[in-house]
């Protein structure tokens, strides 16, 4: 079983601080981490390998420091990792990112299951998984919460929807995105950490992938950010005063007066 | 203080700390309350290769020594001593095999211990034989094809949870201490059962049970070393494992110290945090000094052992005595600094004080160890003259 | 497209540093350097008084826009009934279509759907209806191919769908096939008066930062929008429109994946998305058993029970109660947040509620910034008082 896990290195907190004077992001001192949802994807890939045999390859598109993220997943079970890095890839939206990842995965030639986390904590779009599937021309299942069985070229999974779960059967190869309910990611092992330290992580550039520069990076992006701003929160509210008993009473009265709840 | 750890040691220490903080910390209070064996954490330790560190590479281990074991035990103990001792006892249980086992025995048992698949334990103590270890009464009678063991062992750490036990029994009652031998007995061997689980003051996550042997037949290939070597095996094992207890005590004291400093900084009385009071500062200073001294002694002894020293009975005893005594003092002082809330079970500090006491008692009570140290001093002086 | 800092012109004044929304500029040896991640937004170029920053615009491809006309809304169904989000998008879509002076069409796939006239009443000019038994369960493959075919045939300039688990699953695939841009989870859709482009605003970094996005040359411009972001309008029964039945050709459109079963495991009595009042608990609730107190309050108010992420992560309540960035978006009349600090990821799921009550013993909890009424106090004292008062009155 050839398992590919796509991951992204993201800032370690979404609590990006705002400089109150300039109203801009403060990024100093924020360390980078593997996108948390991708750690679930990696763990599931390793579990599939343990259950059915095979190999887990981790791939990430990012700047050179994304290599740390790839080493981290080697310490928790990935057999090998590949970094896709090139200035031509910068500024990519999900369309361009998916294209780049698809080219890299095609270069691997063999793949049975491609696993992504459900979304990143910085972009939050959740679009790369499905777009990637389409570019590879293979089926896709989102929000997988359990892999029930893999047999005979098919995989049966349970996936989350708003009002319950669906059990879906998909032929391999396939792309899935996973939710955090699927597993508890393991800690690194000592042997894994030693392996990660000495691992050679190849870097594939635009040239090595043979991509058309108009299909990747900013040039390959269909969407563009034209403005960023900080959500204005205008505080219209009221902090009640007095002892708790009278606050509770006051609250009920106010809600009734405003006809938000019914009552005398 | 800098202990000059190499790359692998640093990795081990930080991974052990991570396991302690991410996996042990959230459940330690519950494990203590319910007196529940931490199987989940044993599994986490196994997956992270932490059981491999004290097994040689040829048996699927990572070939570390006493120093590495102490690093891991200290980090785990800093968060929960009960969990740490469950891990350390498995190391203890594997030492007889490591030192005196045959190649077949090592191949058969060590890989499973290294992978954490099976836990080990060591069984010496009996109702009549605590400090006076030679007063054991469990017998191992030679029969065709093996030995039949009869007797009861008491207060065995990992009793009931471990699957591989090293049991010290008398093969020749007439020869006293020289008539004891060491045997490997697996759980589920007919005639081998467990008594009730003890209810303890502290290290309540650890399982302590009686082992009951009634005509328990073990095959002859399960003897460790030769007949009569029982106490050599025992003494050697205890020397080697005492720094581990030192590390357990150091970790425990370190956890208590950190908690006390944190509390003293936050607790406001008379308009100021209590850490600004000289009386509290003096306590904390003494606590910190003692913890560092115990740590330095423990790791110095560990390095001595790992360097291949032939004799280290005295130093190992010193590390255990000193570290356990200061752990008791540090945890008690920590409760004192916490004041009233320190007495409440909602706070983690009273558990640490309860956990500390046993370190002064087991693995050779501090009284016995002091007399061991004194004996070594006399012997050395006598030899010089 | 490229960005360059002319080090000769740069005087190292550092004005541009604070203008970069991503903090990518830094001063090294009195000159400015740019780290990776630039999106060419141009803020630094504007801030520089020395023209030291050059941004090369990409050679603009001729806008494909002109041949694409119309605003489309994809209406999702479950068991033959359209979801509320379809109507919410329809109302907003009507406004967008009116601004552009173009028609609004609704795309409906499913089986046994009889709401076409209702869709027209809510604003649709045309309803493309593909009704077949094979479409009764929401199969990604069938929907993807079906929608792509319709888009390729009729060429709408804008396509909007609900950011539901179905929407977030198959709409990106449609976008990938059409090689066009998709913006997920939009909280705002506007038409730029100058360019006629769809301005798509969405939260990033868990909601800490808002971004406005355009899809300049590719068509259609696609967006998904969370339920409850837009409000459902009022129907006008006199509106006229066309219902166009589209044939579902089983031979051409097949699904590779197979839906084996659906497990309905929603435990709550009142569904969160439809509830008028939600009583919600966070980390401050302390443990699983304590949620019973909130359930009692919910019972007395006829409310649904919600939760922020930590109680779900710790197993105190099931995921179906989770409100927030990776949970449900709700917009009830009243949202009562008990022991919830108000992290952005949670706010993302409930801040458009009509009225928000926050009960938290930390006066600095961010939840108080969005609360209509705030009580700084121990929820274990306040909630019983509320229950008492509501029962007795």
**Judgement on whether residues B239 and B370 belong to the same structural domain of the protein:** yes
Domain holding C334: CATH number?
Answer: 3.40.50.1220
B62 neighbourhood in chain A, CB within 8 Å: 190-191
- Taking CB atoms and an 8 Å limit, are A16 and C205 in contact across chains? yes
Would residue B385 count as lying in a domain? no
The whole-number pLDDT of residue C58 equals 55
**Judgement on whether residues B115 and B126 belong to the same structural domain of the protein:** no
**Judgement on whether residues A140 and A253 belong to the same structural domain of the protein:** no
Q: What percent of chain B lies above the pLDDT cut of 70?
A: 100
- Taking CB atoms and an 8 Å limit, are B53 and A190 in contact across chains? yes
How many beta-carbon contacts under 8 Å exist across A and C?
289
**Judgement on whether residues B205 and B294 belong to the same structural domain of the protein:** no
On the question of pLDDT at A143 being above 70, the answer is: yes
Whether the ipTM is more than 0.85: the answer is yes
**Judgement on whether residues C114 and C154 belong to the same structural domain of the protein:** yes
- pLDDT tens string A207-239: 999 999 899 998 899 998 888 887 776 667 888
* C38, C256, C389 member nearest A248 (Cβ): C389
Would residue C136 count as lying in a domain? yes
The whole-number pLDDT of residue A22 equals 47
Write out the residue range of the structural domain in which residue A251 sits.
234-264
**Judgement on whether residues C140 and C210 belong to the same structural domain of the protein:** yes
Out of B363, B367, B376, B385, which one is annotated catalytic? B363
Domain holding A89: CATH number?
Answer: 3.40.50.620
B22 neighbourhood in chain A, CB within 8 Å: 187
Would residue C101 count as lying in a domain? yes
- Taking CB atoms and an 8 Å limit, are C169 and A130 in contact across chains? yes
**Judgement on whether residues B307 and B171 belong to the same structural domain of the protein:** no
- pLDDT tens string C127-165: 999 998 888 877 888 899 999 999 999 999 999 999 988
Q: Is C79 on the interface with A (CB under 8 A)?
A: no
- pLDDT tens string B211-236: 999 999 999 999 999 999 999 999 99
The whole-number pLDDT of residue C57 equals 61
Would residue C258 count as lying in a domain? no
**Judgement on whether residues A183 and A240 belong to the same structural domain of the protein:** no
In chain B, how many domains are there? Answer: 3
Indicate the residue among B185, B210, B228 that finishes a domain.
B228
Domain holding C39: CATH number?
Answer: 3.30.70.20
Query: Which residue of A71, A185, A187, A191 to mutate against B (max B Cβ within 10 Å)?
Result: A187
Higher pLDDT, B258 or C53: B258
**Judgement on whether residues A115 and A160 belong to the same structural domain of the protein:** yes
**Ordered DSSP codes for chain A:** -EEEEEE-EEES-S--EEETTTTEEE-TTPPEEE-HHHHHHHHHHHHHHHHH--EEEEEEES-TTHHHHHHHHHHTT-SEEEEE--GGGTT--HHHHHHHHHHHHHHH---SEEEEES--TTT----HHHHHHHHHT--EEEEEEEEEEEETTEEEEEEEETTEEEEEEEESSEEEEE-GGG--PPPP-HHHHHHHHH----EE-HHHHT--GGGSTTTT-SEEEEEEEPPP-----EE--S-HHHHHHHHHHHHHHTTSS---
The whole-number pLDDT of residue C269 equals 53
The whole-number pLDDT of residue C264 equals 80
**Judgement on whether residues B190 and B204 belong to the same structural domain of the protein:** yes
How high does pLDDT run on average in chain B?
96
- Taking CB atoms and an 8 Å limit, are C23 and A219 in contact across chains? no
**Judgement on whether residues B187 and B296 belong to the same structural domain of the protein:** no
**Judgement on whether residues A177 and A111 belong to the same structural domain of the protein:** yes
**Judgement on whether residues B242 and B286 belong to the same structural domain of the protein:** yes
- Taking CB atoms and an 8 Å limit, are A222 and C356 in contact across chains? no
Would residue A164 count as lying in a domain? yes
Would residue C362 count as lying in a domain? yes
**Judgement on whether residues C196 and C166 belong to the same structural domain of the protein:** yes
- pLDDT tens string C73-128: 999 998 888 998 999 999 999 999 999 999 999 999 999 888 999 999 999 999 99
**Judgement on whether residues A189 and A258 belong to the same structural domain of the protein:** no
Mean pLDDT for C212-221 is 93
Band the pLDDT of A18: cuts 50, 70, 90: low
**Judgement on whether residues A260 and A196 belong to the same structural domain of the protein:** no
Band the pLDDT of C64: cuts 50, 70, 90: low
Other Cβ atoms less than 10 A from the Cβ of C311: the count is 28
Q: Is B60 on the interface with A (CB under 8 A)?
A: no
**Judgement on whether residues A31 and A70 belong to the same structural domain of the protein:** yes
Indicate the residue among B66, B99, B119 that finishes a domain.
B119
- Taking CB atoms and an 8 Å limit, are C357 and A255 in contact across chains? yes
Q: What percent of chain A lies above the pLDDT cut of 90?
A: 66
Q: Is B53 on the interface with A (CB under 8 A)?
A: yes
Is B363 a known active-site residue?
Answer: yes
**Judgement on whether residues B91 and B72 belong to the same structural domain of the protein:** yes
- Taking CB atoms and an 8 Å limit, are B7 and A189 in contact across chains? no
Band the pLDDT of B119: cuts 50, 70, 90: very high
Domain holding C139: CATH number?
Answer: 3.40.50.620
Would residue C105 count as lying in a domain? yes
Mean pLDDT for A154-161 is 94
Q: What are chain B's partners, defined as 3 or more CB pairs within 8 angstroms?
A: A
Would residue A223 count as lying in a domain? no
Closest-CA distance, B236 to chain A, in angstroms, reads 28
How many beta-carbon contacts under 8 Å exist across A and B?
36
Q: Which of residues 75-94 of A touch C (CB under 8 A)?
A: 87, 90-91, 93-94
Q: Is B23 on the interface with A (CB under 8 A)?
A: yes
Would residue C15 count as lying in a domain? yes
Domain holding B241: CATH number?
Answer: 1.20.140.10
Mean pLDDT for A27-54 is 91
Nearest 10 degrees: Cα torsion A48, A50, A52, A58? 50
Write out the residue range of the structural domain in which residue B66 sits.
7-119
Residue in chain B closest to A188 (alpha carbons) equals: B48
Indicate the residue among C33, C56, C79 that finishes a domain.
C56
Band the pLDDT of C320: cuts 50, 70, 90: confident
In chain C, how many domains are there? Answer: 3
**Judgement on whether residues C139 and C235 belong to the same structural domain of the protein:** yes
**Judgement on whether residues C140 and C281 belong to the same structural domain of the protein:** no
Indicate the residue among B212, B228, B244 that finishes a domain.
B228
Write out the residue range of the structural domain in which residue C14 sits.
2-56
Would residue B29 count as lying in a domain? yes
**Ordered DSSP codes for B102-167:** -HHHHHHHHHHHHTTSS-EEEE--BTTBSS-GGG---EEEEETTEEEEEEEEEEEETTTT-SEEEE
On the question of pLDDT at B71 being above 60, the answer is: yes
Would residue B1 count as lying in a domain? no
Would residue B2 count as lying in a domain? no
Would residue A36 count as lying in a domain? yes
Would residue C259 count as lying in a domain? no
Would residue A225 count as lying in a domain? no
The whole-number pLDDT of residue C44 equals 84
**Judgement on whether residues C282 and C366 belong to the same structural domain of the protein:** yes
In chain A, how many domains are there? Answer: 2
Question: What residues contact residue A117 under an 8 Å CB cut-off, 6+ apart?
Answer: A7, A35, A36, A37, A38, A39, A40, A41, A177, A178
Would residue C33 count as lying in a domain? yes
B15 neighbourhood in chain A, CB within 8 Å: 187-188, 190, 193
- pLDDT tens string B135-163: 999 999 999 999 999 999 999 999 999 99
Domain holding B173: CATH number?
Answer: 2.40.110.10
Six token digits for residue C187: 């909280």
């Amino acid at each position: 079983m050839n398992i590919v896990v796509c991951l992204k290195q993201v800032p370690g907190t979404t609590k990006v601080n705002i400089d109150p004077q300039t109203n801009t992001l403060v990024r100093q001192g924020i360390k980078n981490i593997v996108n948390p949802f991708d750690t679930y994807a990696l763990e599931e890939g390793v579990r599939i390998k343990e259950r059915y045999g095979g190999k887990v390859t981790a791939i990430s598109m990012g700047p050179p420091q994304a290599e740390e993220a790839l080493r981290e997943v080697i310490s928790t079970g990935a057999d090998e990792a590949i970094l896709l890095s090139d200035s031509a890839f910068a500024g990519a939206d999900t369309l361009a990112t998916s294209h780049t990842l698809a080219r890299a995965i095609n270069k691997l030639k063999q793949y049975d299951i491609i696993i992504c986390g459900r979304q990143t904590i910085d972009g939050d779009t959740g679009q790369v998984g499905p777009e990637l599937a389409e570019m590879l021309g293979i089926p896709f299942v989102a929000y997988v919460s359990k892999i029930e069985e893999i047999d005979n070229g098919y995989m049966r999974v349970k996936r989350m929807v708003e009002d319950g779960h669906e059990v879906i059967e998909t032929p391999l190869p396939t792309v899935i995105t996973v939710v955090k309910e699927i597993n508890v990611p393991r800690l690194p092992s000592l042997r894994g950490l030693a392996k990660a330290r000495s691992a050679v992580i190849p870097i594939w550039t635009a040239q090595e992938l043979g991509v058309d520069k108009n299909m990747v990076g900013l040039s390959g992006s269909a969407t563009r950010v034209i403005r960023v701003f900080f959500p204005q929160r205008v505080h219209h509210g009221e902090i009640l005063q007095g002892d708790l008993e009278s606050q509770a009473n006051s609250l009920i009265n106010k809600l009734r007066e405003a006809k938000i709840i019914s009552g005398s | 203080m800098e202990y000059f750890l190499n790359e692998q040691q640093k990795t081990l220490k930080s991974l052990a700390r991570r396991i302690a903080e991410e996996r042990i910390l959230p459940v330690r209070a519950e494990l203590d309350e319910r007196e529940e064996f931490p199987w989940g954490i044993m599994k986490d330790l196994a997956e992270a290769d932490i059981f491999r560190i004290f097994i040689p590479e040829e048996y699927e281990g990572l070939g570390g020594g006493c120093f590495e074991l102490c690093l891991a035990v200290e980090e785990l103990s800093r968060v929960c001593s009960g969990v740490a001792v469950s891990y350390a006892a498995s190391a203890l249980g594997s030492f007889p095999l490591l030192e005196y086992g045959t190649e077949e025995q090592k191949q058969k048992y060590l890989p499973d211990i290294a992978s954490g698949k099976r836990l080990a334990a060591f069984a010496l103590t009996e109702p009549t034989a605590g400090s006076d270890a030679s007063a054991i009464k469990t017998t191992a009678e030679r029969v065709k094809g093996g030995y039949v063991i009869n007797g009861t062992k008491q207060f065995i750490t990992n009793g009931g949870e471990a699957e591989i036990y090293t049991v010290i029994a008398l093969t020749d009652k007439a020869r006293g201490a020289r008539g004891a031998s060491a045997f490997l007995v697996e759980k589920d061997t007919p005639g081998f059962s467990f008594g009730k689980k003890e209810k303890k003051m502290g290290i309540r996550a650890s399982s302590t049970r009686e082992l009951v042997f009634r005509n328990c037949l073990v095959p002859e290939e399960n003897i460790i070393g030769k007949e009569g070597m029982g106490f050599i095996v025992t003494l050697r094992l205890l020397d080697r494992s005492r720094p581990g207890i030192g590390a357990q005590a150091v970790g425990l004291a370190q956890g208590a110290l950190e908690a006390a400093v944190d509390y003293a900084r936050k607790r406001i009385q008379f308009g100021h945090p209590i850490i600004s009071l000289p009386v509290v500062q003096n306590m904390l200073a003494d606590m910190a000094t003692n913890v560092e001294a115990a740590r330095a002694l423990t790791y110095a002894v560990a390095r001595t052992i790992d360097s291949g020293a032939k004799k280290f009975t005295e130093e190992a005893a010193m590390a255990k005595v000193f570290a356990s005594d200061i752990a008791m003092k540090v945890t008690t002082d920590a409760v004192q600094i916490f004041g009233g809330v320190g007495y409440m079970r909602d706070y983690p500090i009273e558990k640490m004080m309860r956990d500390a006491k046993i370190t002064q008692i087991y693995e050779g009570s501090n009284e016995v160890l002091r007399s061991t140290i004194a004996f070594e001093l006399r012997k050395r002086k006598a030899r010089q003259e | 497209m490229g960005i360059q800092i002319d080090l000769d012109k740069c005087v190292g004044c550092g004005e541009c540093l604070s203008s970069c929304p991503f903090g990518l500029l830094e001063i090294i040896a009195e000159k400015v350097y740019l780290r990776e991640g630039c999106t060419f937004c141009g803020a630094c170029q504007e801030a520089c008084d020395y023209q030291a920053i050059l941004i090369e615009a990409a050679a603009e491809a001729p806008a494909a826009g002109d041949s694409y006309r119309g605003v489309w809304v994809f209406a999702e169904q479950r068991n033959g009934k359209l979801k509320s989000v379809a109507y919410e998008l329809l109302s907003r879509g009507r406004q967008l279509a009116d601004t552009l002076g173009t028609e609004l069409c609704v795309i409906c796939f499913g089986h046994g759907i009889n709401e076409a006239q209702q869709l027209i009443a809510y604003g649709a000019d045309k309803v493309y209806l593909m009704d077949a038994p094979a479409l009764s369960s929401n199969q990604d493959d069938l929907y993807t191919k079906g929608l792509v075919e319709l888009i390729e045939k009729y060429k709408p300039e804008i396509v909007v769908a609900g950011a539901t688990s179905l929407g977030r699953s198959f709409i990106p695939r449609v976008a990938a096939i059409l090689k066009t841009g998709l913006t997920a989870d939009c909280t705002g859709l506007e038409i730029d008066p100058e360019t006629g482009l769809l301005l798509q605003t969405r939260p990033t970094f868990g909601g800490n930062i808002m971004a406005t996005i355009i899809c300049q040359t590719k068509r259609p411009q696609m967006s998904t929008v969370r339920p409850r972001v837009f409000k459902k309008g009022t129907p006008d029964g006199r509106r006229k429109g066309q219902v166009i039945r589209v044939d579902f050709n089983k031979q051409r459109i097949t699904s590779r994946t197979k839906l084996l079963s659906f497990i309905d495991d929603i435990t709550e009595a009142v569904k969160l998305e439809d509830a008028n009042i939600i009583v919600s608990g966070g980390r401050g609730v302390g443990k699983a058993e304590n949620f019973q107190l909130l359930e009692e309050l919910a019972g007395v108010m006829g409310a649904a029970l919600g939760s922020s992420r930590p109680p779900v992560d710790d197993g105190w309540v099931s995921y179906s109660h989770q409100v927030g960035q990776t949970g449900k978006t709700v917009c009830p009349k009243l949202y009562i947040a008990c022991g919830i600090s108000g992290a952005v990821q949670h706010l993302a799921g409930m801040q458009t509620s009509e009225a928000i009550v926050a009960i938290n013993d930390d006066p600095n909890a961010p939840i108080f910034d969005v609360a209509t009424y705030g009580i700084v106090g121990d929820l274990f004292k306040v909630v019983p008082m509320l229950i008492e008062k509501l029962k007795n009155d």
